[in-house]
């Protein structure tokens, strides 16, 4: 490929209105162009990388007997409504009407069409298991997309659905897809975390997320400094190392705390550390009130609370409800002498508090030297708090650190929930109608292009892994008017192509500095410069990933390039 004909419109200056590094790099390197907020065209090199990502995904999906299809982008509104949507899903759909005023959604969710297809085509257990997948263009009406391909209105996704006659078959397929995804990310050189997704109270469903680290990501990940542990902070179990302190239990003492409404206020007022305070919150759960106690320096994780209570909804009690129940304001709630019909849950860290401080259930009053079990009873100690940085990792190896991330893939075992709604049944071995067990597996393909740019670059530009680069080699003759340079460059260009290398020949009438700047921006794995030593048959070779340079004789180029590109890793 000759660069003069390749259409790689690089940009020298960093766009001032672009926030994310990967977005800047893909625009500057001529891989993308923006047409509207969240809407992009893939230019030739951007499309080549995207297609290589897709090829790796296809290879791994087909290795586990998945069959590719392509479903329609237009979907009937009544089909979407059958399964119901969350408020967030509904707000992101694009809608159109045809000439007969019939309503459709455009490029939205596809599980409804899959359910219809399976309902119409799968009738016997002999047709199962089956896995279908597609590379699809998804449209989403985002309010303010800001991060290039990370968060765009038009994106490429891979969706796969597996259909099974039993839960055991679904579980087996789920594990195979998980291994396929791990292989995809390994081949892409994409750093990621594997997390169990929030499953709420649906115990017959299980999920897993793959999260790529990203400073601007919308998920906070807790991970160990030395082991393989990683988890979303919403899910991560907290470890409490400290047992009961060797202190003498003191007598309870009432103190006045006028105007101190928060835990932080009380700690400062009494000149006590936050971990000495007991924070009591009253939650309303299905028309009952529950007291939840934690240490003052910890935060209650309401998702954990939902799972403990097996409830889809918990909410803090209103101020009026607290006053009716305890005759005090929210800032003065404490665990001592609560009404007998109020269930008390405590985070496990509360066990280690000795001579703590709590509200007295009386306005502007707190109690000193409060001790669990002696001064108040607890119905159950459970893990109810968010994990914190610096704590021992749950696997006991290393300490916890936090980082932000964004989802790149998700696995979901849906069981029979959707097939029951769609009446997608098959006849089993006993000739009985049975709903199909379903697995759903998605991957954000175009987002991965941006994340790879985010993870593989330096201050000069992109640094593509050799498996993903739009070309293998950037061949740069310094002076096209120099007979020796031109002849050597053209001979080498033809030779390398005969060896099936993808070569970008910079045949532009530009200064050497411009060519080198563009080469760094584009980020091909190998740059070969044909310069002043061309007459001696000597080339300068630069490795983009390390920045190292070497001089090669023309006669050894193909052998060394083959060794480099066949080397694993």
Q: What is the CATH number of the domain that holds 194?
A: 3.30.930.10
Q: DSSP string of 307-328? A: HHHT-S--EEPPHHHHHHHHSS
Three-state helix/strand/coil letters over 495-533: HHHHCCCCEEECCCCCCHHHHHHHHHHHCCCEEEEECCC
Q: Do residues 220 and 139 share a domain?
A: yes
| 489 contact partners, CB below 8 Å, separation of at least 6 | 475, 477, 480, 505, 530, 534
Residue 395: closest CA among 241, 235, 227: 227
Q: Do residues 81 and 58 share a domain?
A: no
Q: Do residues 157 and 203 share a domain?
A: yes
For residue 270, how many C-alpha atoms fall within 13 Å in the half-sphere facing its CB? 31
Chain segment 160-188, per-residue pLDDT in tens? 999 999 999 999 999 999 999 999 999 99
Q: Do residues 297 and 198 share a domain?
A: no
Last residue of a domain, one of 85, 105, 125: 105
Which portions of the chain are predicted below pLDDT 50? 200-201
| 290 contact partners, CB below 8 Å, separation of at least 6 | 282, 283, 284, 309, 342, 343, 344, 345
The pLDDT assigned to 245 comes to 66
Residue with tokens 């765009």: 152
Q: Do residues 449 and 429 share a domain?
A: yes
The pLDDT assigned to 80 comes to 58
Q: What is the CATH number of the domain that holds 324?
A: 3.90.960.10
Domain-embedded: residue 246: no
Q: Do residues 332 and 273 share a domain?
A: yes
Domain-embedded: residue 245: no
Domain-embedded: residue 477: yes
The pLDDT assigned to 417 comes to 86
The pLDDT assigned to 89 comes to 67
CA distance 296 to 3: 63
Q: What is the CATH number of the domain that holds 531?
A: 3.40.50.800
Domains held by the chain: number: 4
Are the C-beta atoms of residues 357 and 278 closer than 8 Å to each other? Answer: yes
Chain segment 504-528, per-residue pLDDT in tens? 999 999 999 999 999 999 999 999 9
Domain containing 95: what range?
Answer: 72-105
Q: Do residues 132 and 217 share a domain?
A: yes
Domain-embedded: residue 462: no
pTM here is 0.89
Q: Do residues 86 and 61 share a domain?
A: no
The pLDDT assigned to 201 comes to 46
Domain-embedded: residue 428: yes
Are the C-beta atoms of residues 221 and 403 closer than 8 Å to each other? Answer: yes
Q: Do residues 141 and 125 share a domain?
A: yes
Domain-embedded: residue 283: yes
Q: Do residues 311 and 356 share a domain?
A: yes
Q: Do residues 326 and 363 share a domain?
A: yes
Query: Helices 483-498 & 557-566, crossing angle to 10 degrees?
Result: 40
Q: DSSP string of 52-86? A: HHHHHHHHHHHHTT-EE----SEEEHHHHHHH---
The pLDDT assigned to 160 comes to 96
The pLDDT assigned to 83 comes to 59
Domain-embedded: residue 396: no
The pLDDT assigned to 145 comes to 87
Q: Do residues 121 and 198 share a domain?
A: yes
The pLDDT assigned to 82 comes to 60
Domain-embedded: residue 466: no
The pLDDT assigned to 78 comes to 64
Helix, strand or coil, per DSSP, at residue 174: helix
């Amino acid at each position: 490929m000759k660069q003069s004909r390749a259409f790689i419109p690089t940009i020298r200056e960093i766009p001032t209105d672009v926030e994310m590094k990967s977005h800047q790099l893909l625009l500057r390197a001529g891989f993308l162009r923006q047409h509207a907020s969240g809407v992009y065209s893939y230019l030739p090199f951007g499309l080549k990388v995207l297609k290589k990502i897709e090829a790796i995904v296809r290879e791994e999906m087909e290795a586990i007997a998945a069959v590719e299809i392509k479903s329609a982008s237009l979907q009937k509104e009544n089909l979407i409504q059958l399964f119901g949507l969350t408020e967030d899903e509904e707000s992101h759909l694009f809608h159109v009407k045809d000439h007969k005023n019939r309503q459709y959604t455009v490029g939205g969710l596809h599980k409804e069409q899959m359910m219809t297809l399976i309902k119409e085509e799968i009738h016997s257990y002999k047709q199962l298991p089956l896995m279908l997948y597609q590379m699809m263009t998804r449209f989403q009406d985002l309010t303010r997309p800001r991060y290039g391909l990370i968060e765009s209105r038009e994106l490429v996704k891979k969706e796969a659905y597996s259909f099974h006659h039993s839960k055991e078959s679904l579980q087996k397929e789920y594990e195979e897809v998980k291994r396929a995804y791990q292989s995809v990310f390994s081949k892409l050189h994409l750093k990621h975390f594997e997390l169990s997704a929030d499953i709420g109270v649906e115990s017959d469903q299980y999920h897993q997320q793959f999260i790529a680290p990203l400073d601007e990501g919308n998920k906070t990940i807790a991970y160990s400094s030395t082991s393989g542990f990683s988890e979303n902070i919403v899910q991560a179990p907290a470890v409490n190392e400290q047992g009961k302190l060797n202190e003498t239990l003191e007598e309870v003492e009432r103190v006045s705390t006028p105007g101190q409404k928060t835990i932080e206020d009380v700690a400062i007022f009494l000149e006590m550390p936050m971990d000495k305070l007991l924070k009591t919150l009253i939650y309303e759960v299905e028309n009952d009130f529950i007291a939840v106690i934690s240490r003052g320096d910890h935060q209650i994780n309401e998702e954990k609370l939902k799972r403990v209570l097996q409830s889809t909804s918990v909410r803090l009690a209103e101020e009026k409800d607290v006053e009716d129940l305890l005759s005090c304001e929210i800032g003065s709630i404490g665990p001592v002498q609560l009404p007998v019909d109020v269930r008390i849950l405590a985070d496990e860290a509360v066990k280690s508090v000795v001579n703590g401080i709590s509200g007295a259930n009386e306005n502007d009053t707190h109690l000193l030297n409060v001790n669990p079990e002696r001064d108040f009873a607890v119905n159950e100690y459970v893990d109810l708090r968010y994990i914190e940085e610096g704590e021992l990792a749950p696997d006991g190896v290393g300490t916890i650190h936090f980082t932000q991330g964004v989802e790149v893939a998700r696995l979901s075992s849906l069981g029979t929930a959707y097939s029951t709604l769609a009446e997608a049944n098959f006849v089993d071995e006993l000739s009985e109608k049975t709903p199909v067990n379903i697995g759903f597996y998605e991957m954000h393909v175009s987002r991965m292009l941006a994340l790879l740019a985010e993870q593989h670059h330096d201050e000069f530009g992109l640094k593509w892994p050799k498996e993903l680069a739009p070309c293998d080699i950037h061949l740069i003759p310094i002076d096209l008017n120099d007979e020796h340079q031109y002849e050597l460059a053209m001979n080498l260009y033809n030779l390398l192509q005969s060896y099936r290398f993808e070569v970008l020949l910079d045949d532009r009438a530009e200064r050497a500095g411009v060519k080198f700047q563009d080469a760094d921006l584009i980020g091909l794995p190998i740059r070969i410069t044909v310069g002043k030593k061309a007459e001696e048959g000597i080339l300068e070779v630069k490795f983009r990933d390390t920045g190292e340079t070497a001089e090669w004789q023309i006669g050894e180029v193909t052998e060394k390039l083959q060794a480099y590109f066949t080397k694993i890793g």
